[in-house]
Chains A and B, each alone.
Chain A
C-alpha cells in the first residue's frame, strides 16, 4: 500500500507555455502533499506544502504565481508551471503524507524539459 503516482513521467514544452503535473495517492487519502524540485546531481528542495482545500504554503524564494499548486481532493494535487522557461527544466517530485503514518510516500517524479 501507500502508492503515489505522477503524470506525466516526462514532458517537453516550449518556452512561454504552461504545463500541469499531477500527483495522486492511489490507495490512501493524503491531507498533505509536498512538491520538491531536483536539479541534476543535486538534492531535493522543497517548493511548497499543499493542503487539501486550502492554499499551498510556498518556501522562501519560490514564486507562487509561477508554480501554481492546487490540492482539490484528498488524493490529487497538481503543480502547474506557468510561462515556462528553460531554467524551469528540472525533475519534479511529489510526496504524500498519510495521516496514520509519520512518513511521506514519494511519486516517481516528472522530468520537465523546456525548449
Chain B
C-alpha cells in the first residue's frame, strides 16, 4: 500500500518570499506523484505531476517540484509567492499505469501574508 506524509500542516509566508511544501511518500512499487491545489469550497486543480523522466517538474502558476527517489520525496517549491497562492495544497501518489486511485497526504495550508 502507498502512503503520503505532508510534513507541515500550515506554512505562513510573506508575499514575494520563496516557499517549499514538503511531501514524502512510501511505496513498494513504482508510483506517479502529483501536487494539487484546492481553493475554498472548490475541487482540486492539478499543479504538476511526475510520471517519469526528468526529476524536476514544472507546473502551473510558477510552481515546480523535484522527485527524489532515494529520499522518497516530492517537495513543491515556488521562488516568489503571491497573495493569490493562499490555498490548501495536497500531495498525492498513485500506482503506475491505468486508472489507479490516488492516495492523498493530509494537506498543507499555505497562507501568504502581505
Q: Which residues of A contact B (CB under 8 A)?
A: 4, 6, 31-32, 34, 42-46, 49, 91, 93, 95, 97, 99, 102-104, 106-109, 111
CA distance A104 to B100 in the complex (A): 9
B90 A44 Cβ-Cβ under 8 A? yes
Contacts A93-B44, A108-B42, A108-B43 known; A102 to B106 CB distance under 8 Å?
Answer: no
Which residues of chain A are near B43, meaning CB under 8 Å? 4, 6, 93, 106-109
- Top 7 nearest A-B pairs by Cβ distance? A32-B99, A97-B99, A106-B43, A106-B44, A108-B43, A43-B104, A109-B43
A43 B90 Cβ-Cβ under 8 A? yes
CA distance A52 to B78 in the complex (A): 39
- Selected contact of B41 from candidates A42, A102, A111, CB within 8 Å: A111
- Map CB proximity to A onto B31-70 as digits: 1 under 8 Å, 0 otherwise: 0101010000111111001010000000000000000000
Which residues of chain B are near A4, meaning CB under 8 Å? 43
CA distance A91 to B107 in the complex (A): 15
CB distance from A100 to the nearest CB of B (A): 11
CA distance A106 to B104 in the complex (A): 14
Which residues of chain A are near B102, meaning CB under 8 Å? 34, 44, 46, 95, 104
CA distance A97 to B101 in the complex (A): 10
Contacts A93-B44, A109-B42 known; A46 to B51 CB distance under 8 Å?
Answer: no
A102 B51 Cβ-Cβ under 8 A? yes
Which residues of chain A are near B99, meaning CB under 8 Å? 31-32, 49, 97, 99, 104
CB distance from B49 to the nearest CB of A (A): 6
Which residues of chain A are near B32, meaning CB under 8 Å? 102
B107 A43 Cβ-Cβ under 8 A? yes
CA distance A91 to B44 in the complex (A): 12
